[in-house]
């Protein structure tokens, strides 16, 4: 198991493991580690918005929706402490990773404008 700690916002708010970027998302429906590349065609889920009145996160490329509730329940185990998040990935602890920056949509930073 690989344990990684990174920032929830600003520079270094994205960890890239095995080519897959992850960010920490704070939505009105819950907080969770979000794979930032859409499983459909790799679209930027870090720019996704919540479908109004639902807990569905909509990819900006082809508008496929993902359940936030399911992501919170079944996602990457993680805990946030202040502006840092520590997550446990089902990867060998020798897996190389980089820490980068991804802009986040308003809906992924707690709905703040
Ligand atoms: S890339 Fe996200 S819906 Fe197609």
Domains and CATH numbers, the chain: 2-105 (2.102.10.10)
Pocket test for ligand 1, best of 45, 61, 65, 105 (most atoms within 8 A of CB): 61
The contacts of residue 79 (CB under 8 Å, 6+ apart) are 85, 86
- Going along 42-89, which residue ranges are E strands? 49-50, 56-58, 65-67, 78-81, 84-89
Q: For ligand 1, say whether the CB of 62 is within 6 Å of any of its atoms.
A: yes
- What is the pLDDT at residue 112? 52
Of 4-8, 26-30, 71-75, 94-98, where does mean pLDDT reach its minimum?
71-75
Q: For ligand 1, say whether the CB of 37 is within 6 Å of any of its atoms.
A: no
Round to whole Å and give the CA distance between 29 and 18: 28
Round to whole Å and give the CA distance between 102 and 100: 7
Pocket test for ligand 1, best of 35, 59, 66 (most atoms within 8 A of CB): 59
Q: pTM for the complete prediction?
A: 0.92
- What is the pLDDT at residue 113? 42
Count, residues in the chain: 113
The closest residue, in CA terms, to atom 3 on ligand 1 is 62
Average pLDDT of the segment spanning 4-25: 96
pLDDT in tens, 35-84: 999 989 999 999 999 999 999 999 999 999 989 988 888 889 999 999 99
Average pLDDT of the segment spanning 6-21: 95
What six digits make up the tokens of 26?
């704070």
- Report the mean per-residue pLDDT for the chain: 93
Round to whole Å and give the CA distance between 74 and 68: 10
């Amino acid at each position: 198991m690989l344990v990684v700690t990174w920032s929830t916002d600003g520079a270094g708010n994205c960890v890239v493991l095995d080519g897959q970027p992850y960010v920490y998302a704070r939505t009105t429906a819950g907080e969770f580690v979000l794979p930032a590349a859409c499983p459909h065609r790799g679209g930027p889920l870090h720019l996704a918005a919540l479908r109004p009145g639902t807990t569905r996160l909509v990819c900006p490329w082809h508008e496929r929706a993902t359940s936030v509730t399911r992501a919170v329940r079944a996602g990457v185990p993680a805990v946030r402490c202040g502006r840092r998040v520590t997550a446990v990935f089902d990867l060998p602890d020798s897996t190389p990773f980089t820490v980068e920056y991804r802009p986040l949509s308003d809906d992924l930073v707690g709905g703040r404008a």
